[in-house]
Chains A and B, each alone.
Chain A
Amino acid sequence: MKNAVFALTLFVATAQALASPVSASKVGTMQTALDDLSLALIDHGYELVKVQPIDHALVKRGYADPGIRLAFVGKEEQVQQALATDPALLSLLPLRLTLEKEADAIRISSDDLAQWRERMPSSGPVLQKWEDELAAILSDYRGIE
């Protein structure tokens, strides 16, 4: 009984630990972060589809600066992969990254694709591929001097 409870608890804890977005942080400004992200994207065959300057949009309308921008990224084959696997995956494209000011650094985080893998197991391999690619891109972002 003890062993079974421990194993199940470990399973739940592991599942919760896995369900966290990919992220990377390094010292810089929003502009240098976008420049470095663009380079990392190109190296992995991705395009920067659109930057959504939420910070500018809110400040322009009299709200506080949240220090947040969104970047939508992707590559052509993802559309084909979504259509071939499950058209519902189109609702995730282009993939979203959040750029967030943290003192003198910028943290970039992806959406939580692990949550989608759990809900759509048959699309798991495609979602895992996208998540792995985002992890590699953010790892490169962290490493670019």
Chain B
Amino acid sequence: MMPALTKSLVILLFSAVARIAEAAEPALLTQILPGRSLEQATEVLKQSILAHNYTFVRQQAIDSRLVPVEWEAKSVRIVYFCNFDMMDAALRRNNLTTQIMPCRVTLIEGDKGTNLIVVNPAWISEQWNAPELQPGCLQLKADYLAILAEAAL
């Protein structure tokens, strides 16, 4: 017969392992825009952001303000955007959500086109131990995917 404490620890352990196994969310969401330059990709991304009811905030080189303007990277850029209703609702629930604010997409120009990379909010929120935040993060992930997909059309 297993003692109660050991039984509890086994249950705790199995639930932790089960949570790890369920953590199928990718850390990053990516989309390639074949044949698009960084400038072209930025423009279609901004149009897609607006089309999905988000507000464009700003764009900057990855090393903006870290190097003189004339030395800034020409092939890596960040685009920031947000939806103020969602931001307000998220902050009313929990300040941990600042870790996914504002929305940002990193654009990396390569030989075959421009890659768009986003940190998956649904993966970030898995670590918060706050199940009430997961639906909002899944919605944000869905919005990101829709924005990236439309930019790639």
Q: A-side interface residues toward B, CB under 8 Å? A: 1-2, 5-6, 8-9, 12, 19, 21, 47, 49-50, 52, 54, 57-58, 61, 63-64, 66, 68, 70, 74-76, 79, 87-88, 90-94, 96, 98, 100, 111-112, 115-116, 119-120
Please state if B84 and A90 are interface contacts (CB–CB under 8 Å): no
Please state if A63 and B67 are interface contacts (CB–CB under 8 Å): no
Q: Mark B121-151, 1 if CB is under 8 A from A, else 0.
A: 0011001000000000000000000000000
Q: Once A and B bind, how many residue pairs between them come within 8 Å at the CB atom?
A: 95
Bound Cα distance A19, B95 (Å): 17
Please state if B101 and A76 are interface contacts (CB–CB under 8 Å): no
A75-B108 contact given A68-B91, A112-B127, CB 8 Å threshold: no
Bound Cα distance A63, B106 (Å): 29
A90-B76 contact given A19-B127, A61-B84, A76-B66, CB 8 Å threshold: yes
Cβ-neighbour of A58 out of B88, B98, B118, B127 (below 8 A): B88
Interface centre among B10, B63, B67 (most CB of A within 10 A): B63
Excluding A6-B9, A54-B87, A90-B117, 19 further A-B contacts by CB distance (< 8 Å) are A5-B9, A49-B66, A58-B84, A61-B84, A64-B92, A66-B92, A70-B102, A76-B66, A88-B27, A88-B28, A90-B62, A90-B106, A91-B28, A91-B104, A93-B62, A98-B99, A100-B95, A112-B99, A119-B123
Q: What residue of chain A has the Cβ atom nearest to residue B117's Cβ?
A: A91
A-B contact pairs, 26 of them (CB 8 A): A5-B6, A5-B13, A9-B13, A47-B66, A50-B60, A54-B101, A58-B87, A68-B91, A74-B66, A76-B63, A76-B66, A79-B73, A90-B76, A90-B106, A90-B117, A91-B104, A91-B106, A91-B117, A91-B118, A91-B119, A93-B62, A96-B99, A100-B95, A112-B127, A115-B127, A116-B27
